[in-house]
Structures are given as C-alpha cells and as structure tokens.
C-alpha cells in the first residue's frame, strides 16, 4: 500500500477529505519521528509500539573485493506489533 492509497482509505473510513487525511498522516509521521529522535517510545495499545534501538558498530565485508568494512553504530527504528494487530492478521 502506498501513502496515497493509505490517505484514500483513511479519508473514506474517517469521512475526511483526502487533504485532511494527508495532513493527519503527515502529523502522525512527524510526531512519531520526533519522539524516536528523543529516544521515546510511541505505544498504541493493541496496535503496536514504535521505538528506536541502537545497532552496534560491526565489521562487514565488501562482496566484490572481500575487504573488511567498518560499519558504524547507529540508531534504527523498530516496530513491535501489538496483540490486536497480531490477531487481526492471523
């Protein structure tokens, strides 16, 4: 599903215009992004939890040359599905 398709579904289900649904989705994305940047978790009970995790530095290998490559540590976004979401898709 693309962002445009998601906006259309949101607009239909919430009886909003597509423009209003797009603004709501953009605001949600911005709020989650800002919280994760600060190291906070965003929990939507039953749906899931967005969090950021630190991925440690590691050594990788360049597949073309076989040389070792140092991959720096970084923070990555993570999502853990909640119980209602898990039940809905099974």
Q: Which tens digits make up the pLDDT trace of 52-75? A: 999 999 999 999 999 999 999 999
This prediction's pTM: 0.80
With a cut of 90, say whether residue 88 has pLDDT above it: yes
Q: How many residues does the chain have?
A: 90
Cα gap 89→85, rounded to integer Å: 6
Q: How sure is the predictor about 90, in pLDDT bands with cuts at 50, 70 and 90? A: confident
Q: Which tens digits make up the pLDDT trace of 9-51? A: 999 999 999 999 999 999 999 999 999 999 999 999 999 999 9
The Cα-based distances of 38 to 52, 53, 55, 63, 87 in angstroms read: 9, 12, 16, 35, 31
């Amino acid at each position: 599903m693309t962002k445009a398709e998601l906006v259309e579904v949101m607009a239909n289900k919430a009886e909003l215009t597509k423009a209003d649904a797009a603004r709501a989705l953009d605001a949600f994305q911005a709020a989650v992004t800002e919280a994760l940047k600060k190291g906070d978790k965003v929990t939507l009970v039953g749906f899931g939890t967005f969090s950021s995790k630190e991925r440690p530095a590691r050594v990788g290998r360049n597949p073309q040359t076989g040389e070792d490559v140092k991959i720096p540590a970084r923070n990555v976004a993570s999502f853990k599905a909640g119980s209602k979401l898990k039940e809905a898709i099974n």
